[in-house]
Every structure is written in C-alpha cells, then in structure tokens.
C-alpha cells in the first residue's frame, strides 16, 4: 500500500501520454525512475492515434543535417526497440525496414524530389546516406503493380514502417509493467518550480516531482513558458484514407501509400495549415484517392472504410525541440513531428539522458534557442 | 436456413450460381435473401480469424453478409438486388486481388 | 414523385435533402414538397418504407394478417409521397455531409451520394436526417455463429422476401417489438420452439411510476394484444438471466440461464432482439451534438422544438431522433419539414406554428406511455456489458469483452476512441455500429463511470462504404492538390 504522499510524488512527471510521452516514460522507467504520466482523456488532440506509421529517413534533414543523423540513428535502433517491446510488453509492433519508395506521377515531380535529395546529400556528413533514383522500368521491375502514370521513384533502403497503434499500445503496456503511473483525465494546468523541483496542478489536485518532462504535443506551447522553456509548436493538419483489408501486395512502405499488417491500405497524408480544424476535407481526400489509384490501379475497386484527419505537432522549422530549462534545470521539453520514427531515440537515448540530467550532445542542435538567433541582414 | 412461406406471391425466377452451384431466386429479392432461401448458411470467412459468418442484420448495418458478386469482393449482399446470371461466391477472408480489378 | 435512377440525373443542388425513406423521411419529404420546397429523398434500399414499412409496395407476402394492419398503413404514407413533386433516389446512399464551399456566407451543405457504384457531390440548403434506428447490439457468447441473427433480420426477410426460418427457431431478448416479431413469424409458419424473455424482473418496479400514462396510451391495447397472442400460442420463458449460443461451425444449441438453473435448447436459428436505438453514425459524423439518454439508455442527438440539431441546417426526425415508434416518426418528419420550410422562407413563423400545433398534439399522444416501455424493457446489465470475457463484442475485428475490460483498467483507457486505437474495436467495415454501445458500457463499468462520461466514437465520412475509385473521380481543387503534392 503506497501512502498518499508517495502517490503524489515521483522522480519524474511526464506531461502528455502520446507516443512521445509514452516513449520517454518507458525510457525513464527502464532506467529506474519512478514516473508519473499526466494525460488528457479520450477526446484530445493526439497525433499518436492518427499517423501514417513510417519509420522514414529519406528526405529528412534538409536545412539541418543533425536531424538527418538523428533520424538515421533512430531508424538503426528501431529493431532493438521492437525487441524490447516484444519482450517487455508482449506485443509485436510489426517493425520492418524493407526500404521505402516515393513513386512520382510526373517528370516535374520526380525532378523536384531528386533535386531536394541532391541538396540534402551535399550537406556535410550526409554523403553516405544510400538512396537510388529509379526510372520507370526499374520502378516497374521492383513494384510490378504500378500504373502507367508512374514515371519513376526514389528509393532508400533505410526506410521502414511499423504498426503505429501497436507501438502506442506497446509503449503504454511496457510502461505499465515497469510501474509507470499513468493518469488519464489529468490535464496539467499549471507547473510551478519550487524547492529545486516542480509542482504540477490541475482540477484533479497537485503532484510534485524532482523533474518534469513536457511531452504534451501541441499543449507544449502553453506549458513551456511556465518553466522557462519555449516550444512554439503549431498544428499542421494531415488527412488519411484507409481501405478495407486486402491480401498482402505491397511489401514496401511508400511516402504516401502503405499496407498494414492487418491488410488495410493507408493512403496519406496531406499537409494543411488550418489551425485546430480537424474536419475531413473532401477535395483533399479526392486528390489523395486519385493519386493512389494512378500509382496502383488495383486499389481502385477497394472500399474505403475510414478517413480521418489529425494534427501534426510542427515547430517553426519542422525539426524537433529538445531542451532543458536554463532558469529551472530539471524541466525538459520533448516534442517533434515524427514521433514514430524517433521513438527508438526517445526510449533508448533521450530518456536516460534526461534522468542523468543532461541532454545528449547529439541533441544539442534541437534547442529552441535556434529560433531566437538574430537574423543577419 | 430459411424457406418460403405458404401463399407467397411467386414472382419471376432468376438463375444464379453460388460457388459454382446453379441455383434460382425470386426476382425482387436481395442476394442475401436468395442465398438464405436456398439454404445457404455461411457466406464468408472473416479476415481476422477465418471463422465462418452468416448475414446477421439484413439491413446494411453489420457487414456480415459480405460476399463476392460477379468477381467483386466484399459487397453487402443484403443491399444488392439479385440479377439474372449473377456469379456469387463465398468471401474468403480478406479481399483478393482478382476481386479488386472490378 | 420524380424517380432518380442514375447518379447524373440528380440536380446540382436541392433546397432540402431528406435521408431515409421510412415513415419519418417519407412524411418529411411529402410535407415539404407540398409546401413547394424542392426536395430530394434518398434511401439506400431499393424500395421505400424504411424498417417498419419495409417493402410495403413490393412485398410477396399475400396474407395481410401475417404482417398486420400497422404494416399496411405504410402504403398510404408511400402513396402520399408518390403524389408529391419530390424527387426520389432509391438504392442511393449518402456517405458524407460537409460544408458547401460554394456558399461563401456558409450555411449550405455539400453531400456525397453514391448510386450504382458512382459517387457525386451535390448541394443541399437544408438537411433532414431520417435514418431511423438499428437493433441494439446483443453480445452473447456465440452470437457470431451462423444461425444466429437479429429478430429484425428475420422480419426483414419475411417482409421483403416472404421467407421464414426453417427448422427449430428460438427468439430471445426483450422489448415491445420482440412479441410483435414472434407473432408475425409464427403467423408466417415458422416453428418457434421458445420465446426467451430477458426483461429483468426488477424493471417492473422501476417502470411502475410511469404506468398511469401507459394505461392511457395507444401502446396499451396493441401491446396487450400482441403479448396475449404470443403467449397463447408459443412457449414463453421469462426471467432469463444468461444466454449463450453454441455450435461448431454453426448454431446447434442455446444455453439458457434462469437464476441458478441452466437449460439447453437444440435449435437451428436463434433470433436476438433487445430493443432499438437511434442510428447515430451519420449525425455523429456530421458533427451534431449527442447526449446519453438514461431512460432509453442510448445516445440521442440534441434537438430543439423543430428537431434542429446543434448543426444549423441539419434536422433529425424519426427514430434517429430518439425512439418513438412509427407513428411518432411520421409526425416528427412533418414537424421537421415545417421547420425546414420556414428556414427556406416558404412559410412564415405563424403559419409554421399553426401547422405544427395539431402535429404536436398528436405527437404527445403517440409518445404517451413510451417512458413506461423504455423503463420496463431496459436490458439487464449483463446483456449490455457481457460478463464472460471470451464474448466477442466487435464482430468485425473480433475483439472480446475481456480485452476491453483489461485494457480499460490496466492501460487507463477512459473512452472508446483510445480503446479503438489500442484494440481496433470499431475500425472494421461496420464502423462501430455493432460494438460502440457495448464498448462504452464495458469501459464505464470497468472504470466506475457512466456512459455519458465515457462518450462515444468520433465518426468520420464515409459513413457508408464507397470505393477508392469513386472518391478519386470527385472534383479536386488547386489548394487540395497543393496540400497533397508537396
Ligand atoms: C497525419 C499524420 C501523419 C503522420 N505520419 C507520421 C509518420 O509516418 N511517421 C512518424 O514518425 N510520425 C508521423 N506523424 C507524427 C507523429 O504522429 C507525431 O510525431 C507524434 O504522434 C507526436 O506525439 P506526441 O506524443 O508529441 O503528441 P500527441 O500524440 O499529440 O500527444 C500529446 C499528448 O499530450 C496530451 N496533453 C496535451 N496537453 C496536455 C496537458 N496540459 N496536460 C496533460 N496532457 C496533455 C494530449 O492529450 C496527448 O495525449 C504523423 C502525424 C500526423 C498528424
Ligand atoms: C430491424 C427493425 C425492424 C423494425 N420493425 C418494426 C415494426 O415492425 N413495427 C414498428 O412499429 N417498428 C419497427 N421498428 C422500429 C422502427 O425504428 C420504427 O417503427 C420506424 O421504422 C422508424 O421510422 P424512421 O422513418 O425513423 O426510420 P426507418 O424506418 O428505419 O427508415 C430509415 C431509412 O433510412 C435509410 N438510411 C439509413 N442510412 C442511410 C444512408 N446513409 N443513406 C441512405 N439511406 C439511409 C434506411 O435504409 C432506412 O430505409 C423496427 C426497427 C428496426 C431496426
Ligand atoms: S446482413 Fe448486416 S449488413 Fe447485410
């Protein structure tokens, strides 16, 4: 029987129970911390329920080579994470890294992608990121089901995917088995630094911890300033279509089409800046459907079971924000828009570093201080 | 399993096949009603565990009447009127590629 | 009536689109058309009638006594609609409702329809959703076996195809319709070996306070007649506390618990029914607010006096607005039509109110006594939230009651949307129609909360299946292309 005082005290309080919060919580608990996770209830902006489940490397990092390296590291560690989740949660999250394609439907599209890829690879340290530009014939050889409009594709052997809902559940399941105290319907309203630690309050009461990690997705923007941090994240709407289950035919993830282990085909994912609106917009869905059918004509007759839209957690430059408060050490913020891809880093690298009190060197570039560098004329 | 009630109005007969077996049904009936009237119990195997299932609600709600009609899979038989010459087949689990050409 | 038989025969837009051709939709469409409103009525079934009057114009049942006078009354409702100027699209499903971008000041709708494998988006200034009710899920062990179906399904088979279950048939559950169905099936020649009544005995006490109204209600005579008839001719087993269907690849027996004792009945068909609940998938996806009605024990849309929902321009009539039965469905359809006609400028407020007054009086009469029935036939907790862990509650994804309970408690899941993300319940083709109410019930029970606190699935279009090709053929916009091709 734990006493009341114990119940409302932890080594670390993680605010936010999406995949980012769940990954950090698991990593902390695996390193021996007593962790409490505060989360909202059933209805919440929770990107972790609505994403496309890629563990994606190609094309990541233009403008910030450290992000490409950080992403690649997570992709490399992902297999290890999957094993941990299998052993510690008893859940197979169906991770695989068969290489990913980005099929293009016009020469202009292909050119644009190739140019971006070349620019990315000209950045220091990124020369040895393997990728291929495939013409139509080679694309057709590797993906026999493509339609006549596919002019070519980009391919990288580093790309993979998982079942992201199984990932979400496995992170929580493993956390539960490591005695993480998860509290739904416990939105944090205020955080107050006190006595070298933190008090977190809500309508439900108050708890105290030596460390606090902000992993509240879009909620971070409001919470960060309370502990001297900055997390200027904004919503970016993404829509997804899912079809009925069909026999396996697509053995590689694509940028916008993938088949899940259950058999459904996911078609993604638009990007719109429309504030907190999550209405499914018809024209966008039509464009996504039309492109998917042109890419793989055999999809045409499939029934759509669901569409949805979810909000990405976007920083001004699209890269993650990892920071420890300078004014209130012990307060951290962890937020990013590719929480599936980066889950391995969050569990295996970031969380232990947070417990140790210092963010890893590799993550130094992701401080929000980058948004405050005066722009030179 | 179902049978016709006494004194039902006859109506024109339509021929169709179920898994290759020639059968007849009443014009105006749905595919599912025609199968029930012919003593067919299960119309599909589920994509999750592969167990047999039969129509459950007959009103378009449950999706347990999913079936292959003229080569197109996962159709709701309880909403589709029977037509002369229809080729109806058991839906075995997930939608098959040959049912996707549509 | 103008019949629309192909998708391109539809106009670009209508003043009013009514969804569902049951008594509510037929009456709403007829009334609005009589007032000069340009109306389109769509229904996914090939013939009008909805549930109660299913196939009333086409049924092969010739003996009128089998289905009873209440059924044949539907012919008049259909005939009135057919005399009107409204357009009617049968075999046409509505799969989405969105704002109409073409109406800059807002207010109109863009609706997605599908007919014969082709989809189209058209405009609607006002909408009346009259999509009716569905039978309440009845999750017992073995309810997925071939040979088990809903009692309503057997009624549909009877009305639309004049077929009845062959062999030994058992009917189980509760609610006023149960006796009606048993009586109709028996009259049609089905061999009903038992009617198993699951009405909890304690409900009689709870319902007693509402009895006086019931005694003055139209339900009474009808109900007594039905019950007397069913009891006279059929084996009637009351006080049933547990049910399980058993068999290898199909139903062989049903296990019946009554208090401590268990009886096994061999049968070929088991028909389940424990009342009807509003079909909320469409109104939910359209963004309308719903509340949990603790008397009817189901989610109902929040409506004003004109049956307008929380979404301006969308009204909801018939059993989709809360269970009231066929008569009230038709009346509510008319009231909703008056409201829509007024909003469209066809009727001023005083004309509208004057026309509505007699309808409201009749509605009050038609609904009198309903509360008694709702309280009396509220299903027992074990039939709302199955006790046995292995009971499948999501038929599509084959999720069990035990999984939902365990996940609610161990992973701290407080609502159906997170449950869906973790277990896939509600993700299959039926889009939660057959698991939603049960999942909510199980979560509430596991966490010691109420269904109202638990909430419901957040639903999205398409609310009915549509192919990727159909979606792909719809109009695009430049902004949409930009949002996708990056
Ligand atoms: C359409 C789409 C496609 C995507 N595709 C991919 C992909 O293919 N690969 C990939 O790696 N990533 C993808 N992502 C991104 C990925 O889903 C996100 O990076 C990830 O889910 C973010 O996780 P999170 O935990 O930070 O945020 P969220 O999942 O949004 O969770 C935030 C949590 O914090 C809680 N919260 C908020 N405020 C408070 C508060 N005050 N107190 C307590 N709790 C609070 C919320 O309730 C929520 O549970 C995609 C995202 C979208 C929208
Ligand atoms: C299976 C069943 C049997 C019943 N039998 C009886 C009975 O015998 N006697 C009795 O008094 N009551 C019966 N009821 C109760 C019934 O709800 C009411 O009596 C009455 O039918 C309600 O009328 P309504 O107009 O509200 O809806 P309904 O009569 O249910 O009509 C709704 C219509 O909407 C259509 N629809 C739904 N969604 C869409 C969509 N997205 N696109 C296009 N069309 C759509 C349906 O196909 C249906 O035809 C039954 C209910 C059910 C579920
Ligand atoms: S039998 Fe339920 S949808 Fe057809």
Q: Which chains touch C (3 or more CB pairs under 8 A)?
A: A, B
Cβ contacts (< 8 Å) between B95 and chain A: which residues?
Answer: 244-247, 302
Whether residue C119 is predicted with pLDDT greater than 80 in this model: the reply is yes
Distances from the Cα of A210 to the Cαs of A11, A200, A205, C184, in angstroms?
5, 11, 17, 70
SS (HEC) of A3-41? CHHHHCEEEEEEECCCHHHHHHHHHHHHCCCCEEEECCC
Contact flag A280-C479 (C-beta cutoff 8 Å): no
Cα(A288) to ligand 2 centroid in Å equals 35
Cβ contacts (< 8 Å) between B28 and chain C: which residues?
Answer: 58, 60, 160-161
C346-383 confidence digits (pLDDT tens): 999 999 999 999 999 999 999 988 999 999 999 999 99
Residue ranges around ligand 1 (CB below 6 Å): A 15-21, 38-40, 44-48, 50-54, 56, 187-188, 215-217, 219, 223, 238, 240, 268-269, 310-313, 335-341
Contact flag B66-C429 (C-beta cutoff 8 Å): yes
| Neighbour-count burial of B12, counting CB atoms closer than 10 A to its CB (0-12 exposed, 13-18 middle, 19+ buried) | exposed
Predicted pLDDT at A377: 41
Helices (H), C251-348: 281-285, 326-343
Judge if the beta carbon of residue C51 lies within 6 A of ligand 2.
yes
Which residues 19-48 of chain B have a CB within 8 Å of chain A?
47
CB C485 within 8 A of CB A109: yes
Its CATH class, for the domain covering A234-314, is alpha beta
Contact flag C430-B61 (C-beta cutoff 8 Å): yes
Of A94-108, A339-353, C41-55, C105-119, the poorest mean pLDDT is in C105-119
Residue with the nearest Cα to atom 21 of ligand 1? A48
Q: How far separated are the first and last CA of chain A, in Å rounded? A: 63
Judge if the beta carbon of residue C282 lies within 6 A of ligand 2.
yes
B90-102 confidence digits (pLDDT tens): 999 999 876 665 4
Tell me which of A27 and C231 has the higher pLDDT: A27
> Domain C385-454 in CATH: superfamily?
BFD-like [2Fe-2S]-binding domain (1.10.10.1100)
C178-226 confidence digits (pLDDT tens): 989 999 999 999 999 999 999 999 999 889 888 888 888 777 777 767 6
Cα(C312) to ligand 2 centroid in Å equals 24
Whether residue C401 is predicted with pLDDT greater than 90 in this model: the reply is yes
Predicted pLDDT at A44: 93
Cβ contacts (< 8 Å) between C457 and chain A: which residues?
Answer: none
Most confident residue range from B13-22, C104-113, C198-207:
B13-22
CATH number of B13-93: 3.10.20.440
Task: For residue B58, give the nearest of C145, C157, C269 by CB distance.
Answer: C157
- The reply to whether C385-454 shares the fold of C140-274+371-376 is no
Cα(C350) to ligand 3 centroid in Å equals 45
A292-344 confidence digits (pLDDT tens): 999 999 999 999 999 999 999 999 999 999 999 999 999 999 999 999 999 99
Of C4-13, C43-52, C474-483, the poorest mean pLDDT is in C474-483
Tell me which of A14 and A377 has the higher pLDDT: A14
Of A87-96, A239-248, A268-277, C167-176, the poorest mean pLDDT is in A268-277
Ligand nearest to the CA of C127: 2
Whether residue A261 is predicted with pLDDT greater than 50 in this model: the reply is yes
Record the tokens describing residue C75, joined without a space: 């012919």
Share of chain B above pLDDT 90, in %: 85
Whether domain C140-274+371-376 has CATH 1.10.357.10:
no
> Domain A2-51+165-233+317-370 in CATH: superfamily?
FAD/NAD(P)-binding domain (3.50.50.60)
Contact flag C454-A42 (C-beta cutoff 8 Å): yes
Whether residue C304 is predicted with pLDDT greater than 50 in this model: the reply is yes
CATH architecture of C2-134+277-347: 3-Layer(bba) Sandwich (3.50)
Predicted pLDDT at A4: 41
- For all residues of chain A together, what is the average pLDDT? 94
Of A125-139, A263-277, C420-434, the poorest mean pLDDT is in A263-277
Judge if the beta carbon of residue B63 lies within 6 A of ligand 3.
yes
Indicate which atom in ligand 1 lies nearest the CA of residue A216.
34
Ligand nearest to the CA of C179: 2
Average pLDDT over residues C456-475: 93
Which residues 45-74 of chain B have a CB within 8 Å of chain A?
47, 72, 74
> pLDDT category, A1, cuts 50, 70, 90?
very low
Whether residue A211 is predicted with pLDDT greater than 90 in this model: the reply is yes
A111-144 confidence digits (pLDDT tens): 999 999 999 988 888 878 899 999 999 999 999 9
Ligand 1 pocket test target in A72, A313, A318 with most atoms within 8 Å of CB: A313
> pLDDT category, A6, cuts 50, 70, 90?
low
- In chain A, CATH 3.50.50.60 sits at 2-51+165-233+317-370
Contact B79/A at CB under 8 A: no
Tell me which of B83 and C481 has the higher pLDDT: B83
Whether residue A375 is predicted with pLDDT greater than 60 in this model: the reply is no
DSSP H or E segment with residue A154: strand A152-156
Give me the long-range contacts of C230-237 (CB less than 8 A, separation at least 24). C230/C179, C230/C182, C230/C183, C230/C186, C230/C195, C233/C186, C234/C182, C234/C186, C234/C192, C234/C194, C234/C195, C235/C192, C235/C193, C235/C194, C235/C195, C236/C194, C236/C195, C236/C197, C237/C194, C237/C195, C237/C196, C237/C197
Q: How close C406 gets to chain A, by Cα (Å)?
A: 11
Cβ contacts (< 8 Å) between C164 and chain B: which residues?
Answer: 2-5
Predicted pLDDT at C212: 84
- For all residues of chain B together, what is the average pLDDT? 93
> pLDDT category, A2, cuts 50, 70, 90?
very low
Indicate which atom in ligand 2 lies nearest the CA of residue C464.
41
Task: For residue C484, give the nearest of A49, A284, A305 by CB distance.
Answer: A284
Tracing tokens 């997925």 back to the chain, one arrives at: C144
How many interchain CB pairs under 8 A, A with B?
Answer: 33
**Any idea where the domains of chain B sit in the sequence?**
13-93
Whether residue A5 is predicted with pLDDT greater than 70 in this model: the reply is no
Average pLDDT over residues C229-253: 91
Pairwise CA distance, residues A114 & A112, whole Å: 6
Pairwise CA distance, residues C241 & B57, whole Å: 24
Contact flag C429-B54 (C-beta cutoff 8 Å): no
**Any idea where the domains of chain C sit in the sequence?**
2-134+277-347, 140-274+371-376, 385-454
Whether residue C109 is predicted with pLDDT greater than 60 in this model: the reply is yes
Contact A249/B at CB under 8 A: yes
Predicted pLDDT at B102: 45
Ligand 1 pocket test target in A41, A49, A52 with most atoms within 8 Å of CB: A52
Ligand 1 pocket test target in A18, A158, A322 with most atoms within 8 Å of CB: A18
DSSP H or E segment with residue C405: helix C401-410
Contact C403/A at CB under 8 A: no
């Amino acid at each position: 029987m734990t006493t009341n005082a114990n119940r409302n005290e932890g080594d670390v309080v993680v605010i936010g129970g999406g995949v980012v919060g769940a990954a950090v919580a698991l990593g902390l608990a695996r390193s021996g911390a007593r962790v409490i996770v505060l989360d909202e209830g059933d209805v919440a902006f929770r990107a972790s329920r609505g994403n496309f489940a890629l563990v994606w490397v190609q094309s990541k990092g233009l403008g910030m080579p450290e992000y490409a390296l950080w992403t690649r590291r997570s992709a490399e560690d992902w297999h290890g994470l999957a094993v941990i989740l299998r052993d510690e949660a008893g859940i197979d999250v169906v991770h695989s890294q068969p290489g990913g394609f980005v099929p293009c439907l016009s020469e202009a599209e292909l050119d644009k992608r190739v140019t971006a890829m070349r620019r990315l690879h000209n950045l220091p340290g990124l020369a040895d990121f393997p990728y291929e530009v495939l013409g139509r014939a080679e694309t057709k050889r590797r993906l026999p089901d493509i339609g006549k409009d596919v002019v070519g594709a980009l391919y990288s052997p580093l790309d993979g995917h998982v079942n992201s809902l199984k990932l979400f559940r496995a992170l929580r399941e493993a956390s539960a088995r490591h005695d993480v105290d998860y509290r739904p319907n416990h939105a944090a309203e205020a955080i107050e630094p006190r006595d070298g630690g933190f008090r977190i309050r809500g309508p439900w009461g108050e708890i105290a911890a030596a460390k606090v990690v902000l992993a509240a997705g879009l909620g971070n923007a409001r919470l960060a300033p309370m502990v001297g941090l900055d997390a200027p994240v904004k919503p970016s709407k993404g829509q997804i279509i899912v079809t009925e289950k069909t026999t396996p035919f697509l053995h590689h993830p694509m940028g916008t089409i993938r088949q899940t282990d259950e058999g459904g085909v996911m078609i993604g994912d638009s990007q719109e800046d429309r504030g907190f609106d999550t209405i499914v917009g018809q024209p966008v869905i039509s464009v996504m459907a039309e492109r998917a059918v042109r890419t793989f004509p055999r999809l045409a007759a499939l029934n759509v079971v669901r569409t949805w839209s979810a909000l990405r957690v976007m920083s001004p430059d699209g890269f993650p924000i990892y920071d420890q408060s300078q004014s209130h050490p012990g307060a951290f913020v962890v937020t990013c828009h590719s929480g599936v891809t980066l889950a391995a880093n969050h569990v295996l690298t970031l969380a232990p570093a947070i417990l140790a009190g210092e963010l890893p060197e590799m993550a130094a570039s992701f401080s929000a201080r980058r948004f405050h560098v005066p722009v030179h004329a | 399993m179902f049978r016709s009630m006494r004194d039902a109005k006859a109506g024109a007969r339509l021929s169709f096949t179920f898994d290759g077996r020639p059968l007849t049904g009443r014009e105006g009936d749905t595919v599912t009603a025609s199968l029930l009237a012919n003593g067919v119990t299960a119309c599909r195997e589920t994509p999750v565990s592969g167990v047999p299932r039969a129509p459950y609600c007959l009103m378009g709600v449950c999706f347990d009447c999913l079936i292959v009609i003229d080569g197109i899979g996962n159709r709701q038989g309880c909403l589709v009127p029977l037509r002369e010459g229809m080729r109806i087949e058991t839906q075995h689990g997930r939608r098959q590629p040959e049912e996707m050409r549509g | 009536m103008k019949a629309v038989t192909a998708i391109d025969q539809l106009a670009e837009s209508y003043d009013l689109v009514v969804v569902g051709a049951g008594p509510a939709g037929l009456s709403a469409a007829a009334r609005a058309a009589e007032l000069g409103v340009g109306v389109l009525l769509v229904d996914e079934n090939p013939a009008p009638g909805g549930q109660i009057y299913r196939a009333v114009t086409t049924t092969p049942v010739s003996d009128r006594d089998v289905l009873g006078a209440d059924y044949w009354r539907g012919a008049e409702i259909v005939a009135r609609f057919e005399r009107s100027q409204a357009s009617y699209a049968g075999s046409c499903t509505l799969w989405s409702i969105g704002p109409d971008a073409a109406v800059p000041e807002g207010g109109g709708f863009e609706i997605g329809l599908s007919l014969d494998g082709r989809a189209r988006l058209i405009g609607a200034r006002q909408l009346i959703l009259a999509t009716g009710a569905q039978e309440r899920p009845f999750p017992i062990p073995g309810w997925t076996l071939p040979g088990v179906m809903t009692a309503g399904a057997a009624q549909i088979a009877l009305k639309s195809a004049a077929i009845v279950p062959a062999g030994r048939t058992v009917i189980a559950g509760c609610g006023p319709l149960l006796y009606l169905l048993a009586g109709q099936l028996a009259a049609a020649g089905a061999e009903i070996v038992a009617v198993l009544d699951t009405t909890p005995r304690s409900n009689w006490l709870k319902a007693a306070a509402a009895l006086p109204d019931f005694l003055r209600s139209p339900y009474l005579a009808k109900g007594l007649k039905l019950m007397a008839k069913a009891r006279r001719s059929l084996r009637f087993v009351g006080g049933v506390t547990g049910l399980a269907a058993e068999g290898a690849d199909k139903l062989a027996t049903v296990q019946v618990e009554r208090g401590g004792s268990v009886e096994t009945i061999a049968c070929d068909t088991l028909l389940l029914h424990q009342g009807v609940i509003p079909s909320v998938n469409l109104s939910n996806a359209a963004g309308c607010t719903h509340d949990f009605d603790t008397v009817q024990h189901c989610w109902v849309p929040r409506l004003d006096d004109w049956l307008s929902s929380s979404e301006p321009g969308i009204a909801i009539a018939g059993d989709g607005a809360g269970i009231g039965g066929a008569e009230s469905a038709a009346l509510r359809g008319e009231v909703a039509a008056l409201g829509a006609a007024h909003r469209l400028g066809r009727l001023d407020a005083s004309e509208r109110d004057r026309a509505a007054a007699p309808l409201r009086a009749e509605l009050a009469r038609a609904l009198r006594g309903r509360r008694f029935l709702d309280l009396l036939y509220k299903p027992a907790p074990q039939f709302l939230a199955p006790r046995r862990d292995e009971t499948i509650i999501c038929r599509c994804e084959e999720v069990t009651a035990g999984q939902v309970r365990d996940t609610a408690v161990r992973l701290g899941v407080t609502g159906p949307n997170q449950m869906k993300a973790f277990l896939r319940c509600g993700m299959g083709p039926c889009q939660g129609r057959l698991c939603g109410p049960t999942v909510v019930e199980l979560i509430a029970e596991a966490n010691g909360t109420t269904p109202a606190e638990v909430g419901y699935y957040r639903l999205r279009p398409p609310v009915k299946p549509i192919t990727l090709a159909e979606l792909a053929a719809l109009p695009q916009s430049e902004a949409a292309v930009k949002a996708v091709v990056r």
